[in-house]
Amino acid sequence: MKLESLKHKPALCLLPLLILPLCHAQGDGSDIDKLKAKLDEQQRQIDSLRQKLDGQAARPTDKPQADAADSSPLQIKIGDTTIIPIGFMDLTAEWKDKNAGGSIGTSFGSIPYNNAATAKLSEFRFSPQNSRIGFRVDGAWNGISFLGYNEFDFLGTSGTNNLSVTNGAFVPRLRLFWLDLRKGQWEFLAGQSWSMLTPNRKGISALPSDLFYSQVTDVNYVAGLTWTRQPGMRVLYHPSKEVTFGFSVENPDAYMGGSGGGSSIVLPSALSGLAGSQLDNASNVQTTPNLHPDLIAKLAFDPTSRVHFEIAGIERTFKLWNTTTGTPTSGKYFTKVGAGGSINGNFEVVKNLRLITNNYWSDGGGRYLFGQAPDLVVRADGSVSPIHSGGMVHGFEATVGKFLLYAYYGGIYIGRDVAIDANGTSLVGYGYRGSANSQNRVIQELTFGFNENIFKSPKLGAVNLMGQYEYAMRDPWYVATNAPKATHDNTLYFNVRYTLPGGAPSAK
């Protein structure tokens, strides 16, 4: 009898198997024992047939159930904790019409002037340096939800000189490494994250997807954007789903200029030794002294998924020790408070079209404009004067089919702050008559681009093609006779990106 036919026959079809032995049974005990043994053997055969039938019925549904699972193949589940590898592979092609040097990022403050030798040649390069790798850990313990986040790229400073000759050994660089804990209405974060002064797209979340640092391919983003990534701690309070208040203490740095193409101040001649010792001139790594952390507060409103609005403020304190007023042990302290604030928002005015506005103004907060503005100048007596500086980014982002389209205008203004040296005649500081044309007054950028989704699968990942055009310009405070009054640069980016599959686990 075939198994398929047994599956649909009533139990009575098995009665002959039971009755047949009875026809040959005798009355003595030995025959009854033999009959019982035969019945037991036949029962085992029936049970075996039933197991095979059950297996045949279950197998056709096993594969569809596995295919329907929505978990990522890269997720690792350990108890109530989920570990997810994150990252993407980028291959970036970059072309500039001037040989500005540096990496694939734009040095906004040092675009070559047309009369410079570096402006006579264009530049082109391929680079994988914007590729990223890391992981996130989600879980809960004793009523506390926790999220750990780690991210590296390969834009670190290399100690080798043959990167383009025989060995593209680009150096990993720590971008993010933080832990976030939340219970009820309270949230606490510690580690290296995007500064809380960085504009958000949603709440005051530290996750990259919830921040606004534009959609551009340029790894230095947009001129005028307020951002940095640095260590610190923050406390958030969520009185409702629509409102979040945050307070953070973040790594301080008294910055005199010189990073990322940004222009530097000129110190009084007797105080030139402050560069790199008490003031950061981008030549040292966290060796300059600071009085206390930068203090940042932010209030964010998200009344609907289509509206985000926020206001933020920052307080900084600069303190110097002037040894020229006496012996090294009988000098004089000078302390000055700097501050700044921002008003930011993004609004979905119609479906799939968002308008972006970010606005920042400061008195001593230039470091947060990608280091394009110094924080302060120093007078001849050693006293501190914070420099006025501000930035803005306005634009739109639109989704059309498989394309994300964007366009932004960004700008930075750096105020003039002039002091007289101890000789009573020489000018020092920033933006004075006769200052170098590297001391910028205005830096501007107009950029637009696209991000096309070629392929996307929760199991296999995603492939995207990205393109960007960028027009950047800068104007100095002082223009010497017969010198160029301004300069500009045209840049094209084309990028191929493969993103790892998977996503965050569903919130509980």
pLDDT band at 227 (very low <50, low <70, confident <90, very high): very high
Give me the mean pLDDT over the 2-29 stretch.
44
Strand 229-237 versus strand 186-194 pairing type: antiparallel
- Residue 306, Cα to own-chain centre: how many angstroms? 22
Q: Are 441 and 477 in contact (CB under 8 A)?
A: yes
Q: Letter for the amino acid at 296? A: I
Q: Letter for the amino acid at 226? A: T
Topology of the domain comprising 76-499: Porin (2.40.160)
pLDDT tens digits, one per residue of 123-177? 999 999 999 999 999 999 899 999 999 999 999 887 666 777 888 889 999 999 9
Q: Are 241 and 87 in contact (CB under 8 A)?
A: no
Unique residue bearing structure tokens 């049970």: 47
pLDDT tens digits, one per residue of 83-122? 999 999 999 999 999 988 778 999 999 999 998 888 999 9
Between CA 449 and CA 458 the distance in angstroms is 26
Between CA 132 and CA 154 the distance in angstroms is 7
3 backbone dihedrals φ, ψ, rounded to 5°: -65, -35
Q: Which DSSP symbol is given to 16?
A: H
Q: What is the mean pLDDT of the chain?
A: 88
* pTM higher than the cut 0.85: no
Domain ranges across the chain: 3-68, 76-499
Q: Which of 145-154, 427-436, 455-464 has the weakest average pLDDT? A: 455-464
